[in-house]
A = this chain, B = another copy of it.
Amino acid sequence: MVNKIMETAVFLIQCKDQRGIVSRISEFVFRYNGNIIQSDQHTTDPENGQFFMRLEFCFDPDFVSHKHLEDEFGILAKTLNAQWQIHYVRQRLRMGILVSKQDHCLLDILYQWKSNELAVDIPFVISNHEDVRECVEHYGIPFFCYSMDGISKTEQESNILSMITGTTDFIVLARYMQILSESFITSFNKPIINIHHSFLPSFKGANPYRQAYERGVKLIGATSHYVTADLDEGPIIEQVVDRVSHRDNVDTLMRKGKKLEQIALANALRAHTEFRILRYSNKTIVFS
């Protein structure tokens, strides 16, 4: 009986460290009859640090409404001078996908979505090329192509922006080979997750696999990060590597890299959609 009406939510909280925070927040949950499922906490420095918390709990929405919960928590947060968000697990995030021609990350994402391994809604996939239309539509997802042909970059970005604004909670660049302008990023003002095909900060910019080949590295990597106006400099979410050798050429590096890109991006998307990530400075806290 009871189970039917319970709901799960996640608080993400950050503030200056101070005595009694955990106590006050957990008391808050208790006061509203909530039960903590998982709580993670991190303090950057015991003496003078920042406090970060992720608190996953279930509660009875008939006992306390979303609005009431949020209003009351807002009051508590104010006394802590804390930034906070609440996410209701049933309300799946709406994830827009931007992609160019390469489809390996896209297909991996769509497969996980279809298999219920990635709990998001995907309102559409946008590309600057037609190449992936068929495989997107095969999954029953609307596909829109905003080509760069014959229009300015500003115009193209503006078209995409009007598409994604209000319809998405975040965007994933699943190998989107255009650099987004600072104005685009600022206007959208929601998280954008990218997959970079190198072990950042090595091999920023173009052709990282060729750069890796030229340098003769013995491991290659892939990095998923939040996009900021500084290209390839945003907060890193996840990195993975694989061993390579003198036997590898640029082609085999690219082939091995595709698998790494899938894994790094999938892990990053899972962490983001499970509300496990807090950002500060130019870094991430990713609770496991």
Q: Which of A29-37, A91-99, A149-157 is found at the contact surface with chain B?
A: A29-37
Decide if A241 touches B216 in the complex (CB within 8 Å): no
Asked if A201 and B215 sit within 8 Å, CB to CB, the answer is yes
Q: How far is the CA of A218 from the CA of B201 in the complex (A)?
A: 11
Report which A residues bind B (CB closer than 8 A).
3, 17, 19-24, 26-27, 29-30, 33-43, 46-47, 58, 104, 107, 111, 115, 117, 138, 199-203, 215-219, 221, 235-241, 243, 245-247, 255, 259, 263, 266, 281-286, 288
Given contacts A26-B23, A41-B36, A288-B288, contact A216 B282 (CB under 8 A): yes
Bound-state CA distance A269–B211 (Å) is 26
Closest B residue to A8 using CB positions: B46
Contact A39 B22 (CB under 8 A): yes
Query: With A30-B20, A33-B19, A39-B22 in contact, do A216 and B236 touch (Cβ < 8 Å)?
Result: yes
Query: B236 contacts A215, CB within 8 Å?
Result: yes
How far, in Å, is A112 (CB) from chain B's closest CB?
A: 9
Chief secondary structure at chain A's binding surface:
mixed
Residues of B within 8 A of A104 (CB): 111, 115
A241/B259 in contact, CB under 8 A = no
Once the chains bind, are B241 and A241 in contact (CB under 8 Å)? Answer: yes
CB <8 Å contact, A29 and B39: no
User: In the complex, what residues of B have CB within 8 A of residue A33's CB?
Assistant: 19
Interface contact B218-A238, CB-CB below 8 Å? yes
With A107-B111, A245-B286 known, 5 other A-B pairs at CB within 8 A are A17-B35, A36-B43, A117-B255, A200-B202, A215-B236
Q: How far is the CA of A29 from the CA of B20 in the complex (A)?
A: 8
Contact of A35 among B19, B259, B284 (CB under 8 A): B19
Q: Beyond A219-B241, A286-B245, is A36–B22 a contact (Cβ under 8 Å)?
A: yes
* For the complex of A and B, 8 pairs with smallest distance between CB atoms: A216-B283, A23-B26, A23-B30, A22-B26, A246-B285, A20-B30, A218-B239, A202-B202
Report the minimum CB–CB distance from A47 to chain B (whole Å): 7
Could you say which residues of chain B place their CB within 8 Å of the CB of A37?
43, 46
In whole angstroms, how far apart are the Cα atoms of A236 and B244 in the complex? Answer: 12
Q: In the complex, which residues of chain B have a beta carbon less than 8 angstroms from the beta carbon of A107?
A: 111
State in angstroms the CA–CA spacing of A217 and B234 once bound together: 11
CA distance A104 to B246 in the complex (A): 29
Contact pick for A41, options B39, B42, B111, CB 8 Å = B39
